[in-house]
Amino acid sequence: MSVRTSIAIAGCKATYRVMRLMGRTARAMPGMVALTIDRRLVSKLAKGYQTIVITGTNGKTTTTHIVQQAVINTYGSAAYDPSSTNLEQGIATTLCLDSTIGGKHASEWAVIESDEGATKTLLPAMKPKVMVVTNLYRDQVDRYDTWTTARDYIVQAAKSSPDTVLVLDADCQVTASIAGLVPNKVVWFGVKCPVYDEGIADFDQSVKCVDCDAELSFSHRTFAHLGSYECPECGRSHNEPSIACTRIENRREKSCTLTLRIDGEEHVVEANVRAGYDVYNAVAAVAGLLTAGMDKQDVFKALAHFTHAAHRFEIFDVDGTPMRLLLMKNTAGCNQLINMILSEPELPKNLVCLLGAEIMDGNQSHRGRTEA
């Protein structure tokens, strides 16, 4: 380990301690300090980890939390960020905090959530064992002009790390189109059943083919543009997932029972998820973990007991009144939260909506937020 790298790690750790004493989250700024000292810090510290990267428009934080919980339960520890900072500076902080000044890792595994655009920098640096892509929606139009902008960043990233196995959502045609553009091995996951009992999930009126712009036909749709599709013009069609959810039962306040088909064999498992869109996240996590070589029973155990990230389906009590805190980031997420609420056996008495209108990482390209 070079002197420069050791100084960078020390600078990160010192900045982290000071900011934590100030009551700050301290995930972005310490990494910025470290990267200012050693620009190649991430690639140096990433060597030797068994790394899983999770990216996509929606669901990457929940998927990451399931994955990291499974890794910690099974192997004892993991380099990961509980606050879900997913740009390079936050990931630099995560790796520094898991390393000694000399660069020795405390953990064998690293579980990394990555912004879609940041993958083009992170994958060539980290060379992960597995990368999971949850889905690609229209999102952050100030950063991504089209559906395929984020996809093209991920394609560029995958090409730079051809030994990384890609775990792709078969039901998302934009995500699925990555497979034909890269040399990487691909594992497919999906959902082969309705995600709501009443079938009230919103559908786009039409979905255009990512290749030829013709209108797709669907034999099965879950919500938005996700489902089993075929293009009548160019022939693009849905890939049969090797890992899929085929049934959702026993919905409870925070959980449900899933039937998962894995390489033709069905398993009935408990999952600590409630919303239809979170079923996709659960299946994505299972697919990523199995692809990384984890035993099925260890994966299922984590799926049943993982803890959601902050603001994702938090349930708490305020002066005797039960409350749920739900996060939405774009129109697809908003629609699915509304559909989930409408599918409840008893509607909530009050709904309070809070809009965060600050400039986030969109207008700042891929630099992200600079606050801690």
pLDDT tens, position by position, 311-361: 566 777 888 887 777 777 666 667 767 777 776 777 777 878 777 766 554
Q: Is 98 helix (H, G, I), strand (E, B) or coil?
A: coil
Question: C-alpha distances in angstroms, 240 versus 3, 50, 227?
Answer: 50, 28, 11
348 near 210, Cβ under 8 Å? no
Does a structural domain hold residue 360?
Answer: no
Tokens of 336: 């699915």
Residue 366 included in any domain = no
Q: With 80 as the cut, is the pLDDT of residue 253 above it?
A: no
Q: Is pLDDT of 94 > 80?
A: yes
Across the range 284-293, mean pLDDT stands at: 98
Residue 294: inside a domain: yes
Number of domains in the chain: 1
The phi, psi pair for 266, rounded to 5°, reads -95, 140
Task: Note whether residue 232 is domain-resident.
Answer: yes
Strand residues in 32-135 grouped as ranges (E):
50-55, 109-113, 130-133
Say if residue 102's pLDDT is above 70: yes
Domain-located, residue 340: no
Asked if the model's pLDDT at residue 284 lies above 90, the reply is yes
Q: Is residue 336 part of a domain?
A: no
Q: What CATH number should be reported for the domain holding residue 234? A: 3.40.1190.10
| Whole-number average pLDDT of the chain | 88
The pTM of this model reads: 0.87
Per the structure, the complete domain to which residue 65 belongs is given by 3-314
- Please report, for residues 5, 8, 68, 91, 111, the alpha-carbon distance to residue 79 in angstroms, rounded to integers and kept in the order given: 18, 18, 9, 9, 6
Q: Which residue has the higher pLDDT, 310 or 149?
A: 149
Q: How many CB atoms lie within 10 A of CB 368?
A: 21
pLDDT of residue 276: 78
**What percentage of the chain exceeds 90 in pLDDT?**
67
Please give the average per-residue pLDDT across 96-105, as a whole number: 96
Q: In the predicted model, what is the mean pLDDT of residues 134-149? A: 72
Residues with Cβ within 8 Å of residue 173, at least 6 apart in sequence: 207, 209, 210, 216, 225, 229, 236, 238
Residue 309 has what pLDDT?
64
Mean pLDDT of 278-289: 96
Give tens-digit pLDDT for 155-196.
999 999 999 999 999 999 999 999 999 999 999 999 999 887
Reported as a single tens digit per residue, the pLDDT across 204-227 is: 667 899 999 999 999 988 888 899
Report if residue 308 sits inside a domain: yes
* 356 belongs to a structural domain: no
Check whether 231 has a pLDDT greater than 90: yes
